[in-house]
Structure 1
Amino acid sequence: MNAKQPIKIAILAMGGEGGGVLADWIVDLGEANGYIAQTTSVPGVAQRTGATIYYVELFPAEQARADGGRPILALMPLPGDVDVVLCSELMEAGRAVQRGLVTPDRTTLVSSTHRVYAIAEKIAMGDGRADHNNLLAHAEGAARRFVRFDMAQVAEDNGSVISAVLFGAVAGTGVLPFSRAQFESTIERGGVGVKASLKAFGAGFAQANAPAETEQPQAAALRPAGTARDPQVRALLARIEKDFPVAAQPVLVEGARRLVDYQDPAYAQLYLDRLARIQQLPGGDLQLLTETARHLALWMSYEDTVRVAELKTRAGRFDRVRSEVRVQQDQLLAINEFMHPRLQEICDTLPAGLGRWLLRSGLPRRVVEHFTKEGRVVATSSLGGFLLLYTLAGMKGWRRASLRYQAENGRIEDWLERIVAASALNPQLATEVAQCQRLVKGYGDTHERGLRNYETLMDAVRRAGARLAPATLRELRDAALADEAGKKLQGALQRLALDAPLQQAA
């Protein structure tokens, strides 16, 4: 670093991650060891639509005295003029690169590799997540040195916060002119959570000098059938090993595991029965089998009120919440759930005949609608609230008789028929039909909008028949995923002349 220039450090952190504490530590570190320090912050508009940028400049006090005055320090980082960038999350590293704060000639970038998904990523109709590997590649190419690992996990493992791990990681890089003892003395002077912070600092320091994380996809290990304790589960695994291609088995194992957890082993057997039909299609297309297996498992484990209640009353969830909020032994934990079931969701949970009757009824329907106008808060940490949801979760055994099951089962069978019909024309078209299941997800209004777009798309597939190219269906699906209201899909259908009946389009 240029002795005539200050050391310039930018910190990008979200709310609650201790970015301000980290900035204060760096200021105290500098001032305690012969540096003039200045810090400023520019807050983002929300925790996940814009992180706070803390900016610190450090200038040697001895150099300032030799120059006969005090240095003029900047209030904010400038593109191409930052020595160290610290990021509490991988997307923030991407934002720093995008802003030009990270340059290959001078910047050391230190970032956690975990993700906290942005609102735009969460509300996307499909998989709206930014590509993890692309973020890593851009950051690697932009920085002089890129130090990264999952700092959120390291902080959790050491009972501290991510700011302490970041502080340790930047110390471990050796990019700042201070010793480890000087860094640790800074934490000790803070006087708050010293023991846990020092432990997390030490872990971050050690990890900064470890080999960089390799972002290789995790290969799904196929569990040998003989290791499963339940005989029905062993039979499922044995059938997958015997009847399906090795390359597709990891997806099938995960799908079967999901459906055993969702319902029971017999339901997972139905899953394999359906896939056997796809496996037996002429040509035995592996991609078609794999994509159908992936999306069939998702559709068969649709979200309903029973599933929501089951997930909210699991012991593992209570343990996770206690861990996340760091409940002490002498503290009580209260968990409140906001529940707002609509009439349709109540009818969907009932036996099919009763559910249909209630939807068509007069006074009974109005009575139920009156009590569902407003949501209610259910305290699952209380005995009454827990028993209410636990009883609802106990209706899992009746799910096959419910109105929702009959509706979803019919849609799934229709989807599989469309895949089979499309495969006779083009296996790639059949794969695109299988991937249209991405539109159907969630519950309530989200499910209804996605299902409406899905049915519009399937109607276009039916009318176009052999005229429909796989790339065209992919384009239509992307349009549907880009706009849950369906306007972009309708525009694409009109542009491609697929919105008119077949006899008119011919």
Structure 2
Amino acid sequence: MTQPIKVAILAMGGEGGGVLADWIVDMGEASGYVAQTTSVPGVAQRTGATIYYVELFPQAQADAAGGKPVLALMPLPGDVDVVLASELMEAGRAVQRGLVTSDRTTLIASTHRVYSIAEKSAMGDGRVDSNELLGHAERAAKRFIRFDMAQAAEASGSVISAVLFGALCGAGVLPFSRAQFEATIERGGVGVKPSLKAFGAAFARAQGEAEATHAAPPTPAPQPRHPAVRALVERVQRDFPDPVQQVLLEGVRRLIDYQDVDYAGLYLDRVAAVAALPANDGGKLLRETARHLALWMSYEDTARVAALKTRSTRFDRVRGEARVQQGQVLAINEFMHPRLQEICETLPAGFGRWLMNSTGPRKLVERMTQKGRVIQTSSLRGYLMLRTVAGMKRWRRSTIRYADENRRIEEWLARIAETAARNPELAVEVAQCQRLVKGYSDTHERGLRNYDTVMAALQRAGAAIAPATLRELRDAALADEHGHKLRAALAQHALA
């Protein structure tokens, strides 16, 4: 018995999933097929995509049988020929639902990510591993065609639905020619030229189909022209093992940008001390400590935040995201609400302590910052104000905040060294506890409070604590901002 052709489309709002479904239906009907489409909307943006479902049945066979085909309203697990996913997580959800099977389904998906609400709201790194998603999809599908379709859509000035339509044609899984696909777009009459451009690029990409299966070539080592920077790069290449060099080079780049060359040299000095520890773990302790040390040494103070907000790359990114056209004016407003403590931490230590302990000046500053301010960084005045704050990094090493963070970093490194002597695996978990310390203002205070709580529990337990227990405490601290899960985990392990 002839079965309908069954196509499921998973797309988020604004990506043209409905248009794509309508194109497939229109193409089928114009080519002598009975076609039907239905849709079930998701709950909200990135908590659930809309599922569009299309079935196609040859009209000639229906006429020969003397009846009308009965087409389904929703896809069933194990009974779908083609799945189109506008984003990688949606491809993973299709696999999870059982819509993708290795004996039947062609999966066509974009490899870009639009992070879900759960991923973005996590206190730690809540992102799902894209490589794992790709691996699951590869194993689940009969054929898996994937590339960055969002980038392809942007390059052609079109939308992702046109790219998916081109990839569907290039896959050759539907009984229609390229001319029939293109005629469908032309009949739509809206955005025909950019849609055809996106279609053609995706068609060629789907027919090639090789990009996602080849590993990217190794990144060549940088060759900086500045002598002091070049000396740091050569030191990394000479004194540290290959597996950790890429992490160290990124750490050096980050800390030169954050402060200066000497600060990056201090970073390598600290990493060298960790490299000398007796940890026979394939370099895992060195790699994790190097990564988290670079993050901690580039802690976010007001000077850092101001520098990031006034970068030309940020203005370019905002213009791109807002799709600013020629002749349009873009205004960027920043809401700034620095507390007295953050202001004092940005000033030289003596001046900061004087202001913190004063009466009149302190009240004046608190009154000025009580309600916060809106600063337009796209204006000359607002830009210069933040650039002045960013320039305060020149005396960062003399600030109260630097002294506090430096002390905490040294204590953390000493604890890693002490732990590595008896339990290298536990030392790796100690290194990863730096994840708790992040952000600025209230976020930083909460993270630091959780970090101190976990380190105090480690101190009390001593050598008796298992690496898995410390990992559980850290994950509990990252699970909610109020610390309820951390307190429950401490009580469970009798470490409260």
TM-score (norm 1): 0.91
Partners of 1:339 and 1:377 within 8 A in 2: yes
Counterpart of 1:97 in structure 2 is: 95
Once the 2 structures are TM-superposed, how far is the Cα of residue 215 of structure 1 from its aligned partner?
A: 6.1
The answer on 1:336 being equivalent to 2:341 is: no
Equivalent in 26, 29, 32 of residue 31 of structure 1:
29
SS at match of 1:329: coil
The answer on 1:128 being equivalent to 2:126 is: yes
Counterpart of 1:313 in structure 2 is: 310
Once the 2 structures are TM-superposed, how far is the Cα of residue 363 of structure 1 from its aligned partner?
A: 4.8
Once the 2 structures are TM-superposed, how far is the Cα of residue 32 of structure 1 from its aligned partner?
A: 2.4
Q: How does 1:408-427 map to 2 (within 5 A)?
A: 408-427=405-424
Q: 280-289 or 399-408, which moves further after superposition?
A: 280-289
Counterpart of 1:469 in structure 2 is: 466
**AA at the equivalent of 2:273:** R
SS at match of 2:83: strand
Instruction: Output the CA distance in 2 between the equivalents of 1:304 and 1:15.
Output: 37
Once the 2 structures are TM-superposed, how far is the Cα of residue 137 of structure 1 from its aligned partner?
A: 2.2
Once the 2 structures are TM-superposed, how far is the Cα of residue 211 of structure 1 from its aligned partner?
A: 3.5
Instruction: Output the CA distance in 1 between the equivalents of 2:33 and 2:279.
Output: 72
Q: 483-492 or 198-207, which moves further after superposition?
A: 483-492
Counterpart of 1:504 in structure 2 is: none
The answer on 1:245 being equivalent to 2:241 is: yes
Once the 2 structures are TM-superposed, how far is the Cα of residue 187 of structure 1 from its aligned partner?
A: 1.5
Q: Which structure 1 residue ranges, 5 or more long, are not aligned?
A: 500-506
Instruction: Output the CA distance in 2 between the equivalents of 1:184 and 1:131.
Output: 36
The answer on 1:236 being equivalent to 2:232 is: yes
Counterpart of 2:41 in structure 1 is: 43
After superposition, the Cα gap between the structure-2 partners of 1:187 and 1:114, relative to the gap in structure 1 and judged at 3 Å, is same
Equivalent in 394, 398, 416 of residue 397 of structure 1:
394
After superposition, the Cα gap between the structure-2 partners of 1:61 and 1:341, relative to the gap in structure 1 and judged at 3 Å, is farther
Q: How does 1:285-296 map to 2 (within 5 A)?
A: 286-296=283-293
**AA at the equivalent of 2:461:** A
Q: 41-50 or 59-68, which moves further after superposition?
A: 59-68
Partners of 1:125 and 1:450 within 8 A in 2: no
**AA at the equivalent of 1:163:** S
After superposition, the Cα gap between the structure-2 partners of 1:391 and 1:36, relative to the gap in structure 1 and judged at 3 Å, is farther
Equivalent in 272, 276, 281 of residue 277 of structure 2:
281
Instruction: Output the CA distance in 2 between the equivalents of 1:172 and 1:480.
Output: 48
Partners of 1:148 and 1:212 within 8 A in 2: no
Counterpart of 1:502 in structure 2 is: none
The answer on 1:268 being equivalent to 2:264 is: yes
Instruction: Output the CA distance in 2 between the equivalents of 1:471 and 1:398.
Output: 41
Partners of 2:40 and 2:51 within 8 A in 1: yes
Instruction: Output the CA distance in 1 between the equivalents of 2:38 and 2:351.
Output: 63
Q: Which structure 2 residue ranges, 5 or more long, are not aligned?
A: none
Give the % identical residues: 73
TM-score (norm 2): 0.92
Equivalent in 57, 60, 72 of residue 59 of structure 1:
57
Counterpart of 1:82 in structure 2 is: 80
The answer on 1:381 being equivalent to 2:378 is: yes
After superposition, the Cα gap between the structure-2 partners of 1:215 and 1:59, relative to the gap in structure 1 and judged at 3 Å, is closer
Root-mean-square deviation over aligned CA pairs: 2.4
Partners of 1:160 and 1:196 within 8 A in 2: yes
Partners of 2:271 and 2:286 within 8 A in 1: yes
Once the 2 structures are TM-superposed, how far is the Cα of residue 435 of structure 1 from its aligned partner?
A: 1.2
Q: 207-216 or 265-274, which moves further after superposition?
A: 207-216
Once the 2 structures are TM-superposed, how far is the Cα of residue 321 of structure 1 from its aligned partner?
A: 2.6
Counterpart of 1:191 in structure 2 is: 189
Instruction: Output the CA distance in 1 between the equivalents of 2:309 and 2:302.
Output: 11
After superposition, the Cα gap between the structure-2 partners of 1:379 and 1:278, relative to the gap in structure 1 and judged at 3 Å, is same
After superposition, the Cα gap between the structure-2 partners of 1:217 and 1:470, relative to the gap in structure 1 and judged at 3 Å, is farther
Partners of 1:480 and 1:488 within 8 A in 2: yes
Q: How many positions carry a matched residue from both structures?
A: 495
Instruction: Output the CA distance in 2 between the equivalents of 1:76 and 1:259.
Output: 53
